[in-house]
Amino acid sequence: MIKVKLDNNKIEISGHAYYDEIGKDIVCASVSSIVITTINAILEIDSDSINYEDLDNKIIVELLNENEIVKKLINNMVFMLESLEKDYPKNIKILRR
């Protein structure tokens, strides 16, 4: 299961969806696309607003200074991940601290 941990200024995404075989897993592909697209958009707009680490099985995004556009992009990312969670509750879980 993919776990998305939301904290005040930190987002941690880890795990695998196990919806299908590696390379055919639409849930994993969706999460990756949503998260990486959001990170890239934020970095393009304000590269000093986040710090992120792409580890072996985990992505950690830390908000350093939140402007209105960054806030909207993060909220949009969370909304899309929540939509996936509703459609695939056995494969992705969002945890709020």
pLDDT digits (tens, 9 = 90+) for 13-41: 999 999 999 889 999 999 999 999 999 99
Distances (CA, A) of 4 to 30, 32, 48, 75: 13, 12, 23, 13
Per-residue pLDDT, 34: 98
When divided into structural domains, the chain yields a total of 1
Per-residue pLDDT, 97: 84
Structural domain boundaries enclosing 8:
2-96
H/E/C letters for each residue in the chain?
CEEEEECCCEEEEECCCCCCCCCCCHHHHHHHHHHHHHHHHHHHHCCCCEEEEECCCEEEEEECCCCHHHHHHHHHHHHHHHHHHHHCCCCEEEEEC
Can you give the CATH number for the domain in which 60 is found? 3.30.70.1490
For 59, the 3-state DSSP assignment is strand
Per-residue pLDDT, 43: 96
pLDDT digits (tens, 9 = 90+) for 40-79: 999 999 999 999 999 988 999 999 987 899 999 999 999 9
pTM of the model: 0.93
